[in-house]
């Protein structure tokens, strides 16, 4: 019974407000969720427009024998392009090169970038200037970066081999050796990959609570234990985003490989992205290139899904 002898629930217009965690009501929570869904629709529609439609077009092309020379080559051939792709002995090596590049560049740039970010969060003299300087590689055009590294990897006049000669070490043919072509591409990628990761991870490190670190130190934790048990869990969301962004960016790498090695020698440094370009625009086999495009999209989706799922389980 309510105050004054009246039962509030007896009124037909009464709606019971169920309290939920956080102090709000269930009706308020539902209204907020509906508002968020409505607010997200424009972004979701834009994402659908720029992803689903191009993927559908690529999938459609992959089922034809369309090329750029014959204008009447829209004949439907079903899965023949995919069958040829699977039977091609070069496909396995190209997929391996792609995964090798993605894993190596993501792992190295993230580890080195994390170390650099930890140095950049200090207060030593000249830090502000250094923070500005390591942003320069990110702002440099990929074509310019590739041309600079091509000059440094040159056999006779390259700075790298010149430095090795001063140390009386062998001077390898970086871009002409099948065993060194892909490592050369990976080294050149570090120029932009490391600063990019460092910028993202520095933002995460600056948000770590100093009180948590001090409490761990008071409890007797050494610097490594503070990093492993306090810092790393605190930056895990930022670290996850940084790894996934670099992972996707490595799949997209094209200019550096095209200008450094053109995928050679042979196919030693050919990746899916470069192979799609050559197959579609050099050999005019757009349908076959589209089949490789579908494979690449699925490979990215599966790889990122596994990576994200693994990180969520660890969290």
Here the CATH number for the domain that contains residue 138 is 1.10.3720.10
190: its two tokens: 């570090």
The full DSSP string for 70-93 is: -TT---B-TTHHHHHHHH-HHHHH
Identify the CA nearest to 255 among candidates 309, 315, 191, 301. Answer: 191
> Which helix or strand (DSSP H or E) is residue 286 part of?
helix 286-314
What residues contact 109, with CB distance under 8 A and at least 6 apart? 189, 190, 193, 194, 196, 197, 246
Indicate whether 68 belongs to any domain.
no
**Position 8 confidence tier, pLDDT thresholds 50, 70, 90:** very low
- Cβ(189)–Cβ(106) under 8 Å? no
Write down the pTM of the prediction: 0.79
Please give the backbone phi and psi of residue 64, each rounded to the nearest 5 degrees, phi first: -125, 170
Is 25 part of a structural domain of the chain? no
The single-letter DSSP state of residue 122 is S
Is residue 174 within 8 A of residue 184, CB to CB? The reply is yes
> Could you tell me the two tokens for 271?
């990746």
Which is higher by pLDDT, 179 or 39?
179
CB 253 within 8 A of CB 271: yes
H or E element that contains 107: helix 89-120
Tell me what the mean pLDDT of segment 21-44 comes to: 62
User: Nearest Cα to 260, choosing from 101, 137, 104, 130?
Assistant: 101
In a domain, 106, yes or no: yes
Which ranges of 12-67 does DSSP label H, i.e. alpha helix?
A: 26-62
18 or 294, higher pLDDT? 294
Please state, in angstroms and rounded to a whole number, the distance separating the CA atoms of residues 186 and 26: 53
Query: Domain for residue 45, yes or no?
Result: no
d(CA 74, CA 65): 6
Q: Does a structural domain hold residue 220?
A: yes
Higher pLDDT, 152 or 306: 152
Residue at 47 is within a domain: no
Q: What is the pLDDT of residue 3?
A: 44
Q: What is the mean pLDDT of the chain?
A: 82
In a domain, 280, yes or no: yes
Block residue for tokens 């990180």:
311
> How does residue 276 score in pLDDT terms, banded at 50, 70 and 90?
very high
Question: Is the bond into 265 cis (omega within 30 degrees of 0)?
Answer: yes
- The reported pLDDT for the residue numbered 6 is 43
Tens digit of pLDDT for each residue in 120-142? 887 777 777 877 787 888 888 88
* C-alpha neighbours within 13 Å on the C-beta side of residue 164: 16
What 8-state DSSP symbol labels residue 25? B
Domain with 280, as residue range(s), is 82-314
Report the domain count for the chain. 1
Q: What is the DSSP string of 57-70?
A: HHHHHHTB---SS-
**pLDDT single digits (tens) 99-115:** 999 999 999 999 999 99
Percentage of the chain modeled with pLDDT above 70: 85
Integer angstrom CA distances of residue 87 from 91, 92, 292, 314 = 8, 10, 13, 38
- Domain contains 52: no
User: pLDDT at residue 22 above 50?
Assistant: no
Share of the chain above pLDDT 90, in %: 29
* CA–CA dist 145, 137 (Å, integer): 8
Question: What stretches of 169-271 show up as alpha helix (H) in DSSP?
Answer: 181-206, 210-218, 223-226, 232-251, 255-260
């Amino acid at each position: 019974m309510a105050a004054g002898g009246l039962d509030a629930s007896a009124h037909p217009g009464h709606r019971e407000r169920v309290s939920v965690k956080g102090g709000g009501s269930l009706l308020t929570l539902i209204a907020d969720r509906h508002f968020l869904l409505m607010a997200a629709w424009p972004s979701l529609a834009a994402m659908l427009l720029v992803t689903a439609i191009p993927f559908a077009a690529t999938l459609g092309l992959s089922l034809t024998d369309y090329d750029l020379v014959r204008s009447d080559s829209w004949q439907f051939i079903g899965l023949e392009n995919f069958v040829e792709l699977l039977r091609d002995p070069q496909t396995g090596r190209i997929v391996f090169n792609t995964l090798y590049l993605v894993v190596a560049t993501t792992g190295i740039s993230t580890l080195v970038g994390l170390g650099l970010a930890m140095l950049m969060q200090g207060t030593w003299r000249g830090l502000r200037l250094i923070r500005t300087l390591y942003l320069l590689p990110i702002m440099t055009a990929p074509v310019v970066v590739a041309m600079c590294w091509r000059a440094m990897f040159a056999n006779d006049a390259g700075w790298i081999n010149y430095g090795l000669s001063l140390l009386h070490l062998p001077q390898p043919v970086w871009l002409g050796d099948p065993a060194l072509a892909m490592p050369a591409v990976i080294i050149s990628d570090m120029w932009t990959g490391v600063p990019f990761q460092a910028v993202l991870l520095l933002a995460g490190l600056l948000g770590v609570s100093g009180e948590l670190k001090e409490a761990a130190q008071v409890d007797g934790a050494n610097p490594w234990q503070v990093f492993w048990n306090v810092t790393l869990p605190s930056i895990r969301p930022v670290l996850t985003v940084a790894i996934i962004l670099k992972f996707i960016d490595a799949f997209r790498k094209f200019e550096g490989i095209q200008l450094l090695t053109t995928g050679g020698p042979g196919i030693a440094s050919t990746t899916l992205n470069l192979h799609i370009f050559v197959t579609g625009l050099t050999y005019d086999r757009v349908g076959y290139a589209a089949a490789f495009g579908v494979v690449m999209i699925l490979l990215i989706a599966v790889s990122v899904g596994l990576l994200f799922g693994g990180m969520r389980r660890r969290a």
